[in-house]
């Protein structure tokens, strides 16, 4: 028996077997009829399932396209919703956080010398050379 691992190979092999039965003499056909009938039923099922499988592949691709379009529309709608929320609530309203929008907040004013840890132009924690202390 030939290798019939693939579905297409099985279909070709089964069809050739059924053709061989058709070419037999009537008394030989009668002995092979029951098995030929079973093979025919199985072959019909295989062809029907294969057609359904191909239909489902096409359907999956169509659904994927529709899903992608829906996600794109959703992203556009959420962008619009956040923009309207910002316009309605105002750019500084803290409730914007509920819409995943950062409100405009006042910047912290930090003294430059405190932030750097010493006189301007020096690194924090660096020793100040003698004679270069800042004049107050």
Rounded to whole angstroms, the Cα distance separating 95 from 101 reads 9
Any idea where the domains of the chain sit in the sequence?
7-105
| pLDDT of 78 | 95
pTM (two decimals):
0.53
- Joined together, the tokens standing for residue 19 give 């053709």
Mean pLDDT by 10 residues, the chain (136 residues): 76 93 90 94 95 95 96 96 93 92 86 57 60 60
- Joined together, the tokens standing for residue 135 give 């004049």
| pLDDT of 125 | 59
């Amino acid at each position: 028996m030939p290798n019939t691992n693939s579905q297409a190979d099985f279909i070709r092999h089964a069809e050739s077997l059924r053709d061989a039965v058709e070419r037999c003499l009537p008394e030989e056909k009668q002995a092979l009829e029951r098995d030929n009938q079973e093979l025919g039923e199985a072959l019909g099922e295989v062809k029907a399932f294969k057609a359904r499988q191909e239909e489902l592949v096409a359907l999956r691709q169509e659904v994927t396209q529709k899903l992608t379009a829906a996600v794109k529309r959703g992203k556009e709608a959420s962008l619009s919703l956040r923009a309207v929320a910002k316009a309605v609530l105002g750019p500084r309203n803290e409730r914007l956080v509920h819409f995943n929008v950062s409100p405009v907040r006042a910047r912290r004013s930090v003294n430059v010398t405190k932030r750097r840890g010493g006189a301007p132009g020096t690194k924090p924690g660096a020793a100040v050379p003698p004679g270069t202390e800042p004049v107050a």
